[in-house]
Structure 1
Amino acid sequence: MSSSSFPHAQQAQIIRANQRDLYHVSSLREQTESVLRSWLGTRWLSRWDKEVELAVKLAYFGFTTGRATQTLGEEYTDIWQYSASRQAVPPLFQTRACLILLPTLSAYIFGRWRNVSLVGTRYPLLGMLLKQLPITLEVVSEINLAIFYLSGTYYDIVKRLLGIRHLSSIPENPHTRPPSYSLLGILLAVRLIHRLITAFQSYRTVNNTLNSRQEKGKQGMETISEGAFLDDRPVSLFVDNEQSEDERVKSAEEDERTMLDVASIPDNLRQSRNCTLCLEERTDSCSTECGHLFCWSCIVGWGREKAECPLCRQALNLTRLLPIYNL
């Protein structure tokens, strides 16, 4: 299919198509999680939520882009993908596969392997690079988005790398002028410049602090890198600690971080110790700033997705969770 007889899609069409796809993926994920939660339970779902998200994205884009058909968003705005380098519709199968796998697998890997404390301990340089990689990709994505708002091409950075553009079946009207998003591109550029200046100032401040503490014979580097401490251990160690997927779920009787003899507590009282997230008896109990009690792993997993208490919606700061040993 030749692309010479069709005009390029307008910026508004591409943006609406992307927003529509995000809506359908989010809706499909919520329905999938609802079914899996009723079948397998909340704790299982919280452990495998990244894999569920990956499977939903692969299914949605696999049955649309993978089969060389329009996504629901592209169908909504009546646009098609085509290869700018080969001038062909649809793109080659290898290109479509990369278009699906690159964004989905990279998001899954960063989400699943975000805990790099062990890597940073054994290989400090590699740990530092892994921590900076998501921030770098975020900045690169913002740069690409600013270029899109200014030039109108390649809304997604993966499509820019693969040379995938969009065609529209709606003929151009020479008497109307399409909406311009140049102002958004300029604002994004200003924001990027501000982030660059702020990062440079923070870097200089950290270096000056380290140098001054080294002159006084103090271990400034450890203090700055670790931050606050809790029970003689850095808070970052608690927050970054995730339960291994292969690790057996710990029962309340095996909880080492409690002063209570759980086995001697009556059954009616033990039912009041259930965590509202996993619906099982709490282990490694902790309290939020608003006073609600959860399992440590449950509330940390929740807080990484939503920075609010699941019960009262008050702002949640993971570094301010308080371990509870007698409740």
Structure 2
Amino acid sequence: MTGIPVFPIAQQAQIIRAHQRDLYHVSLLREQAENTARSWLGTRTLTRWDKELDLLVKLLYYGSGRATQTLGEEYTDIWQQSTSVPPSRLTRAALVLLPSLPAYILSRFVNINNVSANNPRLATLLRYVPTALETVTEINLAVFYIRGVYYDVFKRLLGVRHISSIPENPHIRPPSYSLLGVLIAVRLIYRLITFLRSRSSDSAHEGQKGKRALQGSDGRETYIDDRPVSQMLDIVDPESEPAKPAEEDTGTMLDVASLPPAVRASRICTLCLEERTDTCSTECGHLFCWSCIVGWGREKAECPLCRQSLNPTRLLPIYNL
């Protein structure tokens, strides 16, 4: 009678390749989803719901593969194992939701400014959450490169390891990544020392210094083109602003409400599929909404209509079209 087969622990190289493969497929899936959503809904709607799209892509990819393997794990012939058995459904669900859902909720529904007005200490804590998560991830990565298990923080917390279906070859020594772990640890120590030094400086003195920089020599607010500098520093990214009706467009000299319907129909932006607001022209002469073409230009440096090169710094505002 043959005994129960025992599978070896997955090697570091297998886990790293599986993770890289998963990142590649997630990136490819997100790009295809963005192109589809942009063609159906327009750039402005896509920008408004980009966080939801990113969450949906990750849930679809990792959720569809948790029953057996992800594509990366299948590519390297490794399997998840929790206390000598496959992970339970609850564990698999946690592995899908924990890496993406809390970060989405924090970025979408938690307004730091509103929290700061009611609870300054909680607002300060929330501001440090992304940095803390990044630091914990790097610490876990350093430990993985040194010890060889638990590439992901949440797998470490849930006790989920990887086993390999490929038998070990006793004549081949697996590669070691300990040096990478040591380098990451050195970088973390340097960042810690830098942080402690910055915290030891007099924050009140720095605040007074920043305040004086915004004021003139007589203590008054500094203005540029009749606009206070302090307000200019708080400008919101135009992509994140909600769409506004064309009648409320302050970037045009036209009385949009009095234009004939046929004329207004010709003022449709080909990116958001809505009537243009804050109209601007590219170097090739095509007209778009300012927020739409800025969002497009950050992803692709080409005109969406004629594919000529696009330089966002050379967009020309149009006030009479």
Which consecutive unaligned segments of at least 5 residues does structure 2 have?
216-221, 304-308
Note if contact 2:112-2:123 (Cα within 8 Å) is conserved in structure 1: yes
Letter in 1 for 2:78: I
Deviation at 1:156, TM superposition (A): 0.5
Deviation at 1:269, TM superposition (A): 9.8
Deviation at 1:209, TM superposition (A): 2.5
Note if contact 1:239-1:300 (Cα within 8 Å) is conserved in structure 2: no
Q: Output the CA distance in 1 between the equivalents of 2:206 and 2:262.
A: 54
Aligned to 2:253: 260
Aligned to 1:105: 101
Q: Output the CA distance in 2 between the equivalents of 1:274 and 1:190.
A: 54
Note if contact 2:269-2:288 (Cα within 8 Å) is conserved in structure 1: yes
Give TM-score scaled by structure 2 length.
0.75
2:183 equivalent among 174, 184, 187? 187
Q: Output the CA distance in 2 between the equivalents of 1:105 and 1:210.
A: 36
Aligned to 1:178: 174
**Identity fraction in percent:** 56
Aligned to 1:202: 198
1:92 equivalent among 88, 93, 111? 88
SS of structure 2 residue aligned to 1:103:
coil
Q: Aligned pair in 2 of structure 1 residues 17, 297: CA closer, same or farther (>3 Å)?
A: same
Note if contact 1:117-1:240 (Cα within 8 Å) is conserved in structure 2: no
SS of structure 2 residue aligned to 1:283:
coil
Counterparts in 2 of 1:111-126, with a 5 A limit? 111-113=107-109, 116-126=112-122
Letter in 1 for 2:84: Q
SS of structure 1 residue aligned to 2:236:
helix
Provide the alpha-carbon RMSD of the alignment. Answer: 4.1
SS of structure 1 residue aligned to 2:98:
helix
Q: Aligned pair in 2 of structure 1 residues 299, 124: CA closer, same or farther (>3 Å)?
A: farther
Deviation at 1:100, TM superposition (A): 0.7
Deviation at 1:50, TM superposition (A): 1.5
Aligned to 1:238: 235
Deviation at 1:105, TM superposition (A): 0.6
Letter in 1 for 2:101: L
| 1:1-35 Cα deviation digits (max 9, x unpaired) | x9970100001100100111111112122222222
Residue 150, structure 1, aligned to residue 146, structure 2: yes
Aligned to 1:47: 48
SS of structure 2 residue aligned to 1:250:
coil
Note if contact 1:7-1:167 (Cα within 8 Å) is conserved in structure 2: yes
Deviation at 1:81, TM superposition (A): 0.2
Q: Output the CA distance in 2 between the equivalents of 1:22 and 1:229.
A: 47
Deviation at 1:62, TM superposition (A): 1.6
Note if contact 1:284-1:323 (Cα within 8 Å) is conserved in structure 2: no
Q: Aligned pair in 2 of structure 1 residues 118, 44: CA closer, same or farther (>3 Å)?
A: same
Q: Output the CA distance in 2 between the equivalents of 1:197 and 1:286.
A: 47
Q: Output the CA distance in 1 between the equivalents of 2:13 and 2:235.
A: 45
Give TM-score scaled by structure 1 length.
0.74
Question: Which structure's relative contact order is higher, taking Cα pairs within 8 Å and 6+ residues apart?
Answer: 2
Stretches of 4+ aligned residues off by more than 4 angstroms: 218-223, 240-244, 264-277, 279-282, 284-288, 292-303, 306-316, 322-327
Counterparts in 2 of 1:1-327, with a 5 A limit? 5-65=6-66, 67=67, 69-83=68-82, 86-88=83-85, 90-113=86-109, 116-205=112-201, 207=203, 209-210=205-206, 213=208, 231-232=227-228, 233-235=230-232, 237-239=234-236, 249-255=243-249, 257-258=250-251, 260-263=253-256, 278=272, 280-283=274-277, 298=292
Note if contact 2:254-2:319 (Cα within 8 Å) is conserved in structure 1: no
Deviation at 1:251, TM superposition (A): 2.0
Q: Output the CA distance in 2 between the equivalents of 1:193 and 1:141.
A: 14
Deviation at 1:139, TM superposition (A): 0.8
Deviation at 1:113, TM superposition (A): 4.2
Letter in 1 for 2:79: W
Note if contact 1:9-1:168 (Cα within 8 Å) is conserved in structure 2: yes
Note if contact 1:61-1:100 (Cα within 8 Å) is conserved in structure 2: yes
Q: Aligned pair in 2 of structure 1 residues 55, 171: CA closer, same or farther (>3 Å)?
A: same
